[in-house]
Amino acid sequence: MFKHKVKFAVLGFTHFLWLSITPFVLANDISSIFYVSKNDNGNQVHYGIRLNQNCSPIGSNPVYVYWRMANGKTQELRGLEQPAYGISKQSISGERVDFILNGFQNRGIQKSLFVKSARLNDGNCQVLAFTTINGKQVQISSIRILLSKIKRNPFTGGTIGGIIDSITVVSSMGDEEVIRCTSNCHFGL
């Protein structure tokens, strides 16, 4: 009986320690570096990054992706959504993470992105995302997807298929590059 109490005490202390340390470890994460929106609803796909206390990327896949729904709730991508919004690969070099979006790669679009993190004078972490627009390196703010022939689930109203007409990359200065979809433009049912 005594052994079980010791095990529970150790387990309880370990759980307490983990919960008390976790907010400090995750405190530097940036939940939204840029986002993808579509013309069919107000939901957005956001890309964030996990950072350590020095504002350096954590792990082999620090950039992550999730849905921010129009109602403000968040949720993970489902498996079927990974080919469109997921990240195909990430490579880290110091404070920089290079990555390619599945949605670009799967459509033959040669556009890579990278994020760079830094600690500001006030101690906060800053992360900016970059790509090229019309051959010039720019800070990216968003990507807009123009869909047509949208098919909806009759029960939920969610999008289950359609055609991607174009993908527009938008810089923080308002520059835009419209990329017409020419390969694998049909999606879903």
Nearest CA among 120, 136, 125 for reference residue 173? 136
Instruction: Round to whole Å and give the CA distance between 110 and 67.
Output: 24
Alpha helices in 52-113 (DSSP H): 82-85, 102-105
- pLDDT at residue number 189: 78
Helix, coil or strand: residue 93 = strand
- pLDDT at residue number 75: 95
- pLDDT at residue number 3: 52
- pLDDT at residue number 15: 40
> Domain span at residue 166?
2-188
Q: What's the predicted TM-score (pTM) here? A: 0.83
- pLDDT at residue number 8: 40
- pLDDT at residue number 73: 96
Instruction: Round to whole Å and give the CA distance between 127 and 7.
Output: 42
- pLDDT at residue number 12: 43
* 18 phi and psi angles, rounded to 5 deg: -60, -45
What total number of domains does the chain contain? 1
Q: Is 179 in contact with 111 (CB distance < 8 Å)?
A: yes
CA dihedral (161, 167, 170, 174) positive or negative: negative
- pLDDT at residue number 164: 96
10-residue stretch averages of pLDDT, the chain, 189 residues long: 46 39 56 96 96 95 96 92 93 97 94 96 95 95 96 89 96 96 91
Q: Is 72 left (phi over 0), alpha (psi -120 to 50) or beta?
A: left
- pLDDT at residue number 1: 53
- pLDDT at residue number 2: 46
Q: Is 164 in contact with 145 (CB distance < 8 Å)?
A: yes
Q: How many CB atoms lie within 10 A of CB 170?
A: 18
- pLDDT at residue number 140: 97
Q: Is 61 in contact with 90 (CB distance < 8 Å)?
A: yes
Nearest CA among 96, 72, 73, 75 for reference residue 85? 75
